[in-house]
Structure 1
Amino acid sequence: MISIVIPVHNRLGFTRQCLACLSVQTYRDFQVIVIDDGSTDGTSEMIHQEFPDVVVLRGDGNLWWAEATNWGIRYAQQHQDKRQANFVLTLNDDTYVKPDYLKTLLETYQTHKPCLVGSVSVDSEQPNKLEYAGTTFDLYVAKGKHLAENYNCDYRELIRQTSYIESDSLPGRGTLIPMRVFDEIGLFDSKNYIHYMADIELSVRARKAGYRLIVSAKSPVSEFVSATNSLVTHSASWKEFWNGFTSFKSPTNLKIRYQFAITHSRTKIIYFLFDISRICAGFIRRKLRPVKPI
């Protein structure tokens, strides 16, 4: 059984589209658990009317990604049939997938187990533009690389070369996790990583516990790139970038990145300083790089 856990908040259109593509999956042994964290746009009502088989758990708007996802995992744990293999699939609502998505994730898991299986992601408006295909990074000086660059950010080139990529971390956007992983290492750390980096942190914990982190090239997730954080684009201002260091809604929050460095890095403060330097240098490069005309 795959329990698909999707936190949502006031994105009814995205949620509807995501649930619609899940409803036509060729693999059928799954349940969808939506955590509606205080939506005021009728999301829960829409789900009850159009997708009556979906489990809806309602929060008050203060859960954010990590604890909302934990709610879904706890529900799945409480209702699992322990006589069979059970998985949690974390998924964002601003994505859509092909009908064989669950099937290919499970096939990849069976080939490489014990492991967690992530998804490559592509731009929904440019389906051949590879946005994510795994990462490498060390825990000494925060040096890393986005592995999509190895394939010129070209999804067709990725598929031509390989069916999987081994990664040093996995995001929450389409990651299949065996239920026993949570029994061994715990749930997402919603205390220290309220909204961002909880997914990366859990995957690093899993890798330290002996699980491989595999990205399935055959399981693409189409994401609405325009709906993601602006700090990684040319559109972010210097003020937005600076404010990101203190906002818990930001992936560059200093407290969050310091916590990760202290918990997981072998060099701790040195890693943290290199990490922040890398973030600043990357932002400056993006601001100075000319924007290509569309």
Structure 2
Amino acid sequence: MKIWICIPVFNRIEYTLKCLASLQVQSFRNFQVVVCDHGSSDGTTATIQAQFPDMVVLNADSNLWWTGAINRCLAYALEHAAADDGLLTMNNDNEVPENYLQNLAIHFSQFPNSIITSVIHDISSGKLIEPGYRQNWFHGTAYPVDHAKQHVVGYPDVIAVTHASGRGTLFPVQVFRQLGLFDEIHLPHYAADYDFTFKAARAGYPIYICRDCQVFSYIQATGIVKVLNRFSLSSFVNYFTSIRSPAYLPARWWFGWHNCPKWYFPVYFMIDLMRISGGYFKIFIKPYL
């Protein structure tokens, strides 16, 4: 089994090089990195080709955003992958320990025809920030799982979840060949990963998060931090209207409509709107609490 590692990149070459360096020293060696540089202006393509010549670099336009860029990587991998290979999605601000791919491959073989995803740690503090979640549509939110109480019998590091992010998720090739790629039309930057994994789960592909598959992420480099640079009316508007923001209303509407039970969608969307509105103010108030 070969792992095809798909990474979209837009500038931030300093993060990209650290990410690729952490992959270069993996104990599991049967992998191929595929990067999509969608419009970088910092010499990303040339730098990667010079320092990591064995990695594939695709070039595309800057209007792709995250979803379009990851789809270009996935499409390339699907053209070259064997039926038993896995496609791993990552971000360029992620770093992983040396046994990361090995642990993913072990769980991938333990749970065939399943999606295997990773826990996320803040790279600056080491704090676990995403342990895995199970969605509750009626409450309008996702609840973190408890690995001590909810793990799969016989597998203390593995627990079933309802969806997964694109930061360290390994998919069977067949998932994309059956369902297509991520929705880059309606979900150009955020929620396409969650949307696709909900879709895959409905199609019969279980999703498992593994505590020994750890991704370390530069949380302060995320899009939401750059959108919320100050407390103001324009910042509040950008919070809901910027494609870079996870609160981007058109994407949240589509995501809910596509995945929530239709009869409950109006209630869910109102709950979600209230929750993310409160989240805006919490971001600025939290340092003073």
Tell me the TM-score normalised to structure 1 length.
Answer: 0.88
Q: Give 1:107 deviation, angstroms.
A: 1.2
Q: Match for residue 254 of structure 1? A: 249
1:189 aligns with 2:198: no
1:274 aligns with 2:271: yes
Which residue identity is paired with 1:277? M
Compared CA separation, residues 68 and 209, structure 1 to 2 (3 A): same
Sequence identity of aligned pairs in percent?
Answer: 35
- Cα deviation per residue 1:10-50 (whole Å; 9 max; x = unaligned)? 11111111111111111111100000011111111111111
Answer yes or no: is the 8 Å Cα contact 2:224–2:245 preserved in 1: no
1:242 aligns with 2:237: yes
DSSP-derived class of the 2:63 partner? coil
1:119 aligns with 2:151: no
Which residue identity is paired with 1:94? D
Superposed CA RMSD:
2.2
Q: Match for residue 66 of structure 1? A: 67
Q: Give 1:113 deviation, angstroms.
A: 3.0
Distance 1:290 1:96 in 2: 27
Q: Match for residue 141 of structure 2? A: 143
Q: Give 1:90 deviation, angstroms.
A: 0.3
Compared CA separation, residues 110 and 238, structure 1 to 2 (3 A): farther
Distance 1:232 1:201 in 2: 24
1:27 aligns with 2:33: no
Distance 2:286 2:227 in 1: 11
- Cα deviation per residue 1:92-113 (whole Å; 9 max; x = unaligned)? 0101101111110111222233
Q: Match for residue 37 of structure 2? A: 36
1:178 aligns with 2:189: no
Q: Match for residue 151 of structure 2? A: none
Compared CA separation, residues 231 and 275, structure 1 to 2 (3 A): farther
Compared CA separation, residues 68 and 14, structure 1 to 2 (3 A): same
DSSP-derived class of the 1:121 partner? strand
Compared CA separation, residues 32 and 175, structure 1 to 2 (3 A): same
Distance 2:228 2:190 in 1: 20
Compared CA separation, residues 60 and 220, structure 1 to 2 (3 A): same
Distance 2:287 2:216 in 1: 26
Q: How many residues are matched? A: 279
Distance 1:118 1:255 in 2: 27
DSSP-derived class of the 1:182 partner? helix
Answer yes or no: is the 8 Å Cα contact 1:141–1:270 preserved in 2: no
Q: Give 1:265 deviation, angstroms.
A: 1.0
Compared CA separation, residues 42 and 288, structure 1 to 2 (3 A): closer
Give structure 2 stretches of 5+ with no counterpart.
Answer: 148-154
Q: Match for residue 107 of structure 1? A: 106
Compared CA separation, residues 282 and 146, structure 1 to 2 (3 A): farther
1:225 aligns with 2:224: no
DSSP-derived class of the 2:119 partner? strand
Answer yes or no: is the 8 Å Cα contact 2:228–2:239 preserved in 1: no
Give structure 1 stretches of 5+ with no counterpart.
Answer: 152-160
Q: Which deviates further from its counterpart, 5-14 or 107-116?
A: 107-116
DSSP-derived class of the 2:121 partner? strand
Distance 1:276 1:199 in 2: 20
Answer yes or no: is the 8 Å Cα contact 2:40–2:62 preserved in 1: yes
Distance 2:139 2:156 in 1: 29
Q: Match for residue 56 of structure 1? A: 57
- Cα deviation per residue 1:112-164 (whole Å; 9 max; x = unaligned)? 3331111111111212x1011111222334132234xx58xxxxxxxxx9412
Q: Match for residue 86 of structure 2? A: 87
Q: Which deviates further from its counterpart, 214-223 or 273-282?
A: 273-282
Which residue identity is paired with 2:240? F
1:169 aligns with 2:167: no
Answer yes or no: is the 8 Å Cα contact 1:230–1:236 preserved in 2: no
Answer yes or no: is the 8 Å Cα contact 1:232–1:283 preserved in 2: no
Q: Give 1:165 deviation, angstroms.
A: 2.6
